Amino acid sequence: MPSVAVKLYSVFFKFILKHRLQNRIQGPTDESSNPYGVTTRPEESVSASNPSFTDGVATKDIHIDPFTALSIRIFLPESALVPPEQPEPKSKPGSSQHDDSNSIYNRRNSYGPPNMGVSRNDSRRTSFEGLNLRSESNAYRGYSPLPQNCRKLPIMLQFHGGGWVSGSNESVANDFFCRRIAKLCDVIVVAVGYRLAPENKYPAAFEDGLKVLNWLGKQANLAECSKSMGSGALGVGAEFKKAEVQRHIVDAFGASMVEPWLAAHGDPSRCVLLGVSCGANIADYVARKAVEAGRLLDPVKVVAQVLMYPFFIGSVPTHSEVKLANSYFYDKAMCTLAWKLFLPEEEFSLDHPAANPLIPDRGPPLKLMPPTLTVVAEHDWMRDRGIAYSEALRKVNVDAPVLEYKDAVHEFATLDMLLKTPQAQACAEDIAIWVKKYISIRGHEFSY
C-alpha cells in the first residue's frame, strides 16, 4: 500500500484539484474569449529555461506558432557535445601508457564535456574551440559544429499530464522529469506546451502535438538546406563564409529559421513519443497520424512510443474502474469532469476516439502502430484500459510490453512529491532500457 504521507498528500491534492475543476466548469468556456489559448496556469510552479548545462542538461524555450500559445522546451544533454567515437590516441615513445589526461578524457567520452582532462594545446581541442560552443558563463550558444564533430542524438517528443486543464511543459516537476529522461536515454527531449482546456477544447491539444511533429520535419529539411548551401565552404578559413550563407537562409525564411540545437545534434529519423497521463492520449494520436502520413513525414520517423499511465476511459467499466474508482490523486469522478471540460459538449462521450483507444473503426490498423511501452500503476483505476490496449497491440504482433509497478499510484513517476522516490527513478531507468532498443545505432543495440 502507498505510504501514509502519500495518502495524506492525495487527500490534499484531490481537494485542490476538485476546487479548480469546478471553477473551470463554472467559468466562461467560450473559445472566442481566448482564441490564442493558454499553456500554463498562474498557480503552476514553473522552472525557467537555462542554456547552461545545469545538472548535465541545457534547456531553451521556443514559441513555434505565431497564431497560438503552442511552445516547446528543448532539453539537450551534455553528451551531445562529445565527438562521435574518437579512437584512443597512441602513446608516444617514452611516454606513459596510461597518461592521466588521456585516460580521463576517454573515461568521460560518453558523458562529460569534450575538453575535460585534455591539455589546451591538444589538437583534439581545436575543432571545438573554433566553434565557440559555450560562452564564459558556460551557456551553450548552439552554433552548428563541423560535420565530423557532430554527434546526432534521437529526439523524444514529451507530452505532460494534468487532466487536460492543468500542467505545463515548463513546470518544476516536468522539467525535472525531462532532464532525467534526457540523461538516461541519451536523447534530446522536446517537451510540448500544448493548449489547455476549457479555453481550447478538443482537438486543440491533439493538433498541437501533431503540429510539433511536423515542425520537426520542417526543421530537418531547413537544416539540410542550410548544410547543402554551405557545403562549398571548406577548411577553417571558410567558416565565416559558411556562417554568412546560413545567416542568409535564416533571413530568407524569416520565422522558419533553423533551430541550431536540433540542426547540430538532432536525428529526427529516430523519434520517440512519450506521453504522461492525458499526454499519453496525445502521444498515441500523434503516433497514429504519423503512421497515416508515412513517407510524407520524411525525414521524421516515429520508431517507438511510451504511454505512462494513459488517460483512457470507456462507457463499459473495467474491473479496476469499479474497484479503484475512488483511488489516489485522480479518482474517476474528477477525471470524468476533466473529460467534460476537454470535449465539446456535443461530442461528449466516454467512448470518444480521444478517450477510448479500442473503439471499432478507429484507424489506422493496430498492426501498423509503432512499438509501444505501457506503464501502469497498481492503484490506478485506469490501469486495466491501458493493459487492454497493450494486449490488443500484441495480438497483431506489435512489440507492446507492460510495466506494472506495485503499490504505485497514478503519476507515481512524474508527480512533484514522488519524483525523487526510488520507484520513480527505477521507472525512468526501465523506460530507458526499452527505448534504447529502438534508438540505438545499428551495431550498438541494447539487449532486451
Q: Could you tell me if residue 156 is left (phi over 0), alpha (psi between -120 and 50 degrees) or otherwise beta?
A: beta
DSSP, collapsed to helix, strand or coil, labels residue 304 as strand
Catalytic residue selected from 175, 208, 331, 380 = 380
How far apart are the C-alpha atoms of 379 and 114, rounded to whole Å? 45
Residue 84 to residues 11, 79, 138, 152, 204, Cα–Cα distance (Å): 50, 10, 22, 8, 40
Half-sphere CA count of 299, side-chain side, radius 13 A: 15
Catalytic site residue 30? no
Count CB-CB contacts under 10 A for residue 124. Answer: 16
Catalytic site residue 380? yes
Sign of the Cα torsion 388, 392, 393, 394 reads positive
Catalytic site residue 416? no
Which strand (E) or helix (H) includes residue 332?
A: helix 332-342
Q: Are 417 and 390 in contact (CB under 8 A)?
A: no
How far apart are the C-alpha atoms of 48 and 121, rounded to whole Å? 37
Catalytic residue selected from 265, 352, 379, 410 = 410
Q: Are 369 and 288 in contact (CB under 8 A)?
A: yes
- How buried is residue 363: exposed, middle or buried, by Cβ count under 10 Å (0-12/13-18/19+)? exposed
How far apart are the C-alpha atoms of 335 and 324, rounded to whole Å? 13
273 bridge partner residues: 157, 305
Q: Are 379 and 409 in contact (CB under 8 A)?
A: yes
Beta strands in 64-143 (DSSP E): 71-77
Q: How is residue 62 annotated by DSSP?
A: E
Residue 126 to residues 123, 198, 318, 399, Cα–Cα distance (Å): 6, 53, 62, 45
Catalytic residue selected from 144, 226, 277, 390 = 277
Cell (9 digits) for 153: 542524438
Residue numbers annotated as active site: 277, 380, 410
